[in-house]
Structure 1
């Protein structure tokens, strides 16, 4: 089976050029970070979020006066309650946006120690919210970048919004189409595996689940509920990220293969800040963690 030998920093495009992106990355299905800060002035970034001052580091918060008038809008929320013994307790349901806004207010009022990742407080994540489900005035805050409309055929399959309080987490999975992933607020760390490498890591996790009778027949490689709780969540996290100390933003760690005799491959590691965007080709496996403090938010387009 494939084992990850190390994670390499992902290249960034040297200039703002759709033509260069198309020829060197989109057509060749190579992942790349677009020029750093290219979308710093993106409409949703300035309207949905506002800077917050903290004693230690600046971070982002939600622009409540702008969003609260849309509180009756129903959005998909993921509720995660950490459970050290059995993995996460996880539920996904459509709830009013006002519920999410109230929760973020309450979390931001807590002392930093009470929002630590090891503290088992319930967490809400506005995850994979389809743009089409928002009111038209909010949809207007998400114009489609030219890198999506001009690099390929211009076909857009879906646009999704992700907003949460760090730490947020999406386990290892692959998407059915090319993906442009834009960071709107806060920071996220992304780990990428080529199709064959990721398939080997995912298969190894499935085998471990089957041997422990914890898999219950699930086989989907698309982000799903079974990945977000229990044994599958824990095994996927360990396979990609290693120990919790290896997930910190300050460095790009190396994960060594346990056995020199096993086939090993490199992965890629990228930290995205507000205004950055990442191209994830079809079939490339990826896992994403929100890092730092405050709100972390993204939008992604599936296109071709």
Structure 2
């Protein structure tokens, strides 16, 4: 059995962790000058192949890959879609508490050259959605120490990945920290 801790508020729960895990340098002066309000700091710790499904957040996010079991072998893959695709990615207004999570399922495939290709599960989306989304995603791999800015209301999916084929069976892990914030007056 594998465990994936998602949205764990470790800085609030583990004494001393606040001194160890600091905000990304770009965020620090904004916090010190009260230019932004920090909504939440969340940890995401899990093994290779752990997935956070396609969703959007109501806040800006600076996501930092804080640590991994082997920095040259394990990382996090992000794919992002702009809010302009919300009409295709949104869940029907069915009263679900997961309104910000898309029913569209994506998957990663490793190409022959070792890169990652994002695919769409055809059973999770009608043809009009597949056509609208195809080629619209922005994709990147974050390694230990890397930080990504995720704009407010942008759709994103995150998967822990093994960077080399031989690393997939090694049980590696990554730990990331999301810093969710809003500018004052937003």
- TM-score, normalised to structure 2, is 0.70
Aligned residue for 1:200?
88
Verify: 1:221 aligned to 2:99, yes or no.
yes
| CA-CA distance at 1:140 after TM superposition | 1.5
RMSD between superposed Cα atoms in Å:
3.2
Aligned residue for 1:160?
42
Conservation of the 8 A alpha-carbon contact between 2:63 and 2:150: yes
Larger Rg computed on CA atoms:
1
Partner residue of 1:236 out of 104, 125, 130? 104
Partner residue of 1:297 out of 170, 175, 185? 175
Structure 1 or 2: more strand by fraction: 2
Contiguous gaps of at least 5 residues in structure 2: 69-73
Q: 1: CA distance between counterparts of 2:113 and 2:53?
A: 17
| CA-CA distance at 1:245 after TM superposition | 2.8
Structure 1 or 2: more helix by fraction: 1
Aligned residue for 2:3?
124
Quickly say closer, same or farther: Cα 1:247–1:171, change in 2 above 3 A: farther
Q: 2: CA distance between counterparts of 1:138 and 1:263?
A: 43
Contiguous gaps of at least 5 residues in structure 1: 1-121, 208-214, 224-231
Aligned residue for 1:150, secondary structure, equals: helix
Aligned residue for 2:61?
179
Q: After superposition, what is the alpha-carbon deviation per residue over 1:199-222, rounded to whole angstroms, capped at 9, x for unaligned?
A: 41234xx49xxxxxxx7x426334
- TM-score, normalised to structure 1, is 0.45
Aligned residue for 1:140, secondary structure, equals: helix
Bigger RCO (CA 8 Å, 6+ sep): 2
Q: 2: CA distance between counterparts of 1:271 and 1:198?
A: 23
For these two proteins, the number of residue pairs brought into alignment is 158
Q: 2: CA distance between counterparts of 1:236 and 1:164?
A: 22
